[in-house]
Chain A
Amino acid sequence: MAKKDKEEDEFRPTGTIAVLTVFVITLIAIWATIYAILVQRGGTL
């Protein structure tokens, strides 16, 4: 139990940060792709 508590105290969510970083990069890439489509269409429909 004590070992578990220590693990919890020392836990650093590095994997979580990695997952969220991938999310944000993908989000920006998708947004930018669709923005490029908007610009290619002359900024309007």
Chain B
Amino acid sequence: MNQYQVSPAEKKFIGSHILVAILALAVGSLFGPLQAFEHAGWDFYQYLKPFIKSYYQGLTVHGVLNALVWTTFFIMGFLTFLVIFGLKRQLKNPTLNKVGFWMMVVGVVAAAIPILTNQATVLFTFYPPLKANWAFYVGLTLVVVGSWVEGWGLFMTYAAWRKENPNERTPFVAFASLITAALWQICTLGVAVEILTMLLPLSLGLIDGVDPQLARTYFWFTGHPLVYFWLLPAYISWYAFLPRQASNSKMFSDSLARLAFWIFLVLSTPLGFHHQYVDPGVPPAWKFIHSMLTFGVFFPSMMTAFTVIASLEMGARKSGGKGAFGWIGKLNWSDPSVAAQLLAGILFFFGGMGGLTNASYNVNLVLHNTAFIPGHFHLTVATAVTLSFMGISYWLVPYLTGRKLWQPKWATIQAWVWFVGMIIFSNSMHVLGLLGAPRRVPLGLAPYVPAEWNSRLFQVGLGGAILFVSGAIYLLVMLKTATNKERVESEVIVPVADSLQDVAQTPEWLDRWAPWLYGTLALIVVVYGPQLVDQIANIALTSPGFRVW
């Protein structure tokens, strides 16, 4: 099978993203278990002084490096690969993409210095009036703007391809990647405005205070679609690669997949108020509207679940799979890339259930700011996304480096260990939340912990320890693969699945950008506009910055 050959220079460029991502994951993951251990009463932070001064500094390192840096770099590298491979052409302006990448690297370094020197212990949500050193905000801005610049490079490449191929359907992997990049460009406007108009001026002493309500509104304009920026690249892999990897199957419906991505673009931004149900400054009617739109995202999510599972089932049936569930055993579970993504998908089912519960205007009151929330997002970003990215890297890194995956059996074990560790960790966090345990609190120090929490807090520590082992195995496999002297015999085949239908039959309206983009912007204006106008008109820069650590 003759596949498009990505050039060595482009492979190196894509690999640079993956390298930074994995380094961030390595450092950030050192601190994840420390939070879990602290909950179980094993406080290792006391041994890290004077380098790491507090639980909150460790939590900031963990959140920023794992939730923001690992994901953003992996995604930008993966999207770049998918656009080049999908469109079968080189980047239109590789220098532009390189500029974007190096802006992101400089941004990470700029943000890391104040975090590691305890000048930016503001967690990954950096809610004001918590105040960080200005370099933290400049660094985050550079990461975001750098990713925009890389996105522009991808759009220019698409424009050049479209000019050369005016009547062709955009290949799915490139199409879905471009939508993901577009979603990111739109949604990050919120956090960009927050940093540039409030947080950076505050940290530089140009203003005396901030408006926390408006800042939170800006933040969640970005914060929820950020979840889809994380998830959509995993979805691309589930739609386009996993069917072939898991059961030598095809994508069940190209049209349905494209429609799902468009709906994600339209609906993922105008729903941020569902994170602000208890914010007093947002009127209930707007919260209700955002709540309804959040439930709207259930539909493309179910379309995705249907298409992906049907694609897998179709191949498994051909391999002799029987019964309502028996076909699942016929999937290629021995392939570490498959095992990781399937296990990620299974746990994501529960992440989806928790997400819908969080998004319910009334039920959210039981869960808000409890341990249920980190329990939930460890099923989404830390499993559906992270474990999928790990699975993708099990074929992508050999593809990029030309080196064989080191010990595939260990890679498979890694996926299963993550799965088991996350079940223990996340389940206990969910239950603790229902019992009233707050999030963002070093519960090992809390004097009010009732006896009924204790067994669950122990399970949090146990789950964290197992996850740490899995993370260590992953890093070992990646390190040994990158330095493996054994090279692949021939070019690694990119496991992209064909569509069941002829892609040329996909309706043209599913390959047109203008109506979907205008629709997205119009919906944002309608459901965010009046509140933003009101909050900006009544802005009160009266809350002085705090440093509470």
Contact = CB atoms under 8 A, between A and B. Distances in A.
Nearest to A27: B353
B366 A20 contact: no
A19 B325 contact: yes
B449 interface: no
Interface string A26-38: 1100110011011
A14 to B, nearest CB: 7
Contacts of B306: 13, 16, 20
B102 interface: no
Interface stretch (B129-137, B156-164, B354-362, B382-390): B354-362
B302 interface: yes
Interface stretch (B114-122, B144-152, B309-317, B395-403): B309-317
A43 B313 CA distance: 43
Interface residues of B, number: 32
B252 A13 contact: yes
Interface residues of A, number: 24
Contact of B318 (A7, A23, A30): A7
Nearest to A31: B357
A16 B252 CA distance: 12
Query: Interface residues of B: mostly helix, strand, loop or mixed?
Result: helix
A38 B277 CA distance: 15
A7 B317 contact: yes
Among A7, A15, A18, which residue has the most Cβ atoms of chain B within 10 A? Answer: A15
Contacts of A16: 306, 309-310, 313
A28 B302 CA distance: 15
Given A7-B317, A11-B317, A34-B366, A27 B356 contact: yes
B362 A38 contact: yes
A37 B309 contact: no
Contacts of B309: 13, 15-16, 19-20
Query: Interface residues of A: mostly helix, strand, loop or mixed?
Result: helix
B349 interface: yes
B434 interface: yes
Interface in B187-213: none
Nearest to B368: A45
Nearest to B307: A16
Contact of B357 (A4, A14, A30, A43): A30
Given A7-B317, A15-B327, A31-B360, A44 B365 contact: yes
A19 B349 CA distance: 10
Contacts of A30: 353-354, 357
Nearest to B312: A16
Nearest to B367: A34
A27 B356 CA distance: 8
Contact of A38 (B305, B313, B365): B365
Contacts of A15: 309, 313, 316-317, 321, 323-325, 327-328
Nearest to A44: B365
Contacts of B313: 11, 13, 15-16
B462 to A, nearest CB: 23
A33 to B, nearest CB: 9
Given A31-B360, A38-B366, A45-B365, A18 B349 contact: no
A43 B363 CA distance: 9
B295 to A, nearest CB: 12
B250 interface: yes
Contact of A31 (B305, B316, B356): B356
Nearest to A28: B353
Given A8-B250, A16-B310, A35 B362 contact: yes
B545 interface: no
B317 A37 contact: no
B318 A20 contact: no
A41 B366 contact: yes
Given A20-B305, A37-B434, A13 B366 contact: no
Contacts of B356: 27, 31
B366 A26 contact: no
Contacts of B408: none
Contact of A34 (B302, B310, B318, B357): B357
Contacts of B250: 8
Contacts of A41: 366
Nearest to B500: A8
A37 B377 CA distance: 21
Given A8-B250, A34-B367, A26 B324 contact: no
Contacts of B365: 38, 44-45
A16 B307 CA distance: 9
Contacts of A43: 362
26 contacts: A4-B318, A7-B317, A7-B318, A8-B500, A11-B317, A13-B309, A13-B310, A13-B313, A15-B316, A15-B324, A15-B325, A16-B309, A16-B310, A16-B313, A19-B309, A19-B325, A20-B305, A23-B305, A23-B353, A27-B353, A30-B354, A31-B360, A35-B362, A38-B365, A44-B365, A45-B365
Interface of B: 250, 252, 302, 305-306, 309-310, 313-314, 316-318, 321, 323-325, 327-328, 349, 352-354, 356-357, 360, 362-363, 365-367, 434, 500
The 10 A-B residue pairs with the shortest CB-CB distance, nearest first, are A18-B324, A13-B310, A16-B309, A16-B310, A15-B313, A27-B353, A38-B366, A11-B314, A30-B353, A15-B327
